[in-house]
A = this chain, B = another copy of it.
Amino acid sequence: MAGRLNFEILPAGSAATARCGLLTTPHGVVETPAFMPVGTLGAVKGVTPQELSAAGASILLANLYHLALRPGIDTIERLGGLHRFVGWTGPLLTDSGGFQVWSLGHLRTVDDDGVTFRSHLDGSSWRFTPETVVEWQERLGVDVAMALDECPPWPVSREQAAAASERTLGWARRARTAWRGETGGGLFGIVQGGVFHDLRERAARDLAALDFDGYAIGGVSVGEPPAERRAVVERTAAALPPERPRYLMGVGYPADILHAATHGIDLFDCVLPARNARHGVLFTREGALKIRNARFRDDPRPVDERCGCPCCSRLSRAFLHHLVRAGELTGPVLATLHNLRYYLDFMTELRQAIALGALADLAARLACAPLPHDPQEQRSP
């Protein structure tokens, strides 16, 4: 069953570990490194699927935890599967819910067989096991499914991290066995292990032996210092099978993405562009703009001169400032369209830089236009 998702690594540029690739899924090909906009409940907040395509997204992420609780797997299956339900014709990846169970579920009790918790919505009782989570994702018809993991909180002791990693590995084995792969999609295993490199490396090797379609680095962007996260990424990526896609979950700012891609990460997701947009923080090639700031009141320039999004192609910073200040709904909509386009354009530049062996130039450009850096809460619960 593994290998259903073809991953072709393109001829390398001069970078040692960075690579461009083509991930072929039942619903289309993803050029990697790729950024997956986060559609928690099936839609990026404020954005239509058509606008998402127009912004350049090739693959969308949705959250199994949220969809399972509401509207429910049965409902989505009856309606023809997740693609049809959310109106996204391209590749879809669903998170396994591990992270959300740990950050949102109440009265959570975990045993070796799975996890029981109460819904954050209505207090109803739920049970997630490695088998149910795989089965649900197969029923949704996703292109990339994720195995259930235990995502320990930050700070985490070595003992906690080791236990979570061990349990995640046992669950991965069961998920791998449960996965039927009949819809042509693939299953990814998730590496845990906190900030302990030996735990991460061992988990990576053990997961690799299970022959997944791809491998994810989980348990990051939970509050750890950026330097520790970067070290985890470097060490773990190096321990993962080079021929399969690698996904860094919930990270991050463009500089974090560039760093990770330099070390061989292929897939990314993050709520930062959309969440910052809703808070009036706009990402540009010149740095970040807090659009509520009075200095934009009379600024006739687009948010980013080099952006082709619906906001920049027609509107000024002054107008966006006006809408955001007034609390008008169109403000966050335009800001989100812009920030997503910024991220997706950045990924294109990143792929070009890898192909041309010019990552250092891109890194230098980013360093000249720093974005706000808040390593906390980059991941959406």
Residues of A at under 8 Å CB distance from B?
Answer: 41-51, 70-71, 75, 78-80, 84-87, 297-298, 300, 310-311, 314-316, 318-319, 321-323, 325-326, 328-330, 332-334, 337
Q: How far is the CA of A44 from the CA of B328 in the complex (A)?
A: 9
Number of copies: 2
Q: How far is the CA of A45 from the CA of B334 in the complex (A)?
A: 11
Report the minimal beta-carbon distance from A337 to chain B, rounded to whole angstroms: 7
Cβ-defined contact, B330 with A46, below 8 A: yes
Q: Which residue of the partner chain B has the closest CB to A80?
A: B300
Q: How far is the CA of A311 from the CA of B79 in the complex (A)?
A: 16
Given contacts A79-B298, A79-B316, A333 and B48 within 8 Å (CB-CB):
yes
Choose among B43, B79, B319, B326 the residue that contacts A330 (Cβ–Cβ < 8 A). B43
Cβ-defined contact, B70 with A314, below 8 A: no
Choose among B48, B70, B323 the residue that contacts A42 (Cβ–Cβ < 8 A). B323
What are the residues of chain B within 8 A of A328 when measuring CB–CB?
A: 41, 43, 45
Report the minimal beta-carbon distance from A195 to chain B, rounded to whole angstroms: 34
What are the residues of chain B within 8 A of A325 when measuring CB–CB?
A: 70
Q: List 23 A-B contacts (CB under 8 A).
A: A41-B322, A41-B323, A43-B323, A43-B330, A45-B328, A46-B46, A47-B330, A48-B310, A48-B333, A50-B310, A50-B314, A70-B325, A71-B297, A71-B318, A71-B321, A78-B298, A84-B316, A85-B322, A87-B314, A87-B315, A87-B319, A329-B329, A329-B332
Cβ-defined contact, A330 with B75, below 8 A: no
What are the residues of chain B within 8 A of A323 when measuring CB–CB?
A: 41-43
Cβ-defined contact, A334 with B300, below 8 A: no
Q: Which residue of the partner chain B has the closest CB to A50?
A: B310
Cβ-defined contact, A45 with B318, below 8 A: no
What are the residues of chain B within 8 A of A334 when measuring CB–CB?
A: 48
Report the minimal beta-carbon distance from A328 to chain B, rounded to whole angstroms: 5
Q: How far is the CA of A12 from the CA of B197 in the complex (A)?
A: 81
Choose among B42, B50, B337 the residue that contacts A322 (Cβ–Cβ < 8 A). B42
Given contacts A298-B79, A316-B85, A71 and B322 within 8 Å (CB-CB):
yes
What are the residues of chain B within 8 A of A43 when measuring CB–CB?
A: 323, 328, 330
Cβ-defined contact, B298 with A75, below 8 A: yes
Q: How far is the CA of A318 from the CA of B49 in the complex (A)?
A: 16
Report the minimal beta-carbon distance from A276 to chain B, rounded to whole angstroms: 15
What are the residues of chain B within 8 A of A78 when measuring CB–CB?
A: 298
Q: Which residue of the partner chain B has the closest CB to A328?
A: B41
Q: How far is the CA of A84 from the CA of B300 in the complex (A)?
A: 10
Q: How far is the CA of A49 from the CA of B70 in the complex (A)?
A: 33
Cβ-defined contact, B45 with A330, below 8 A: yes
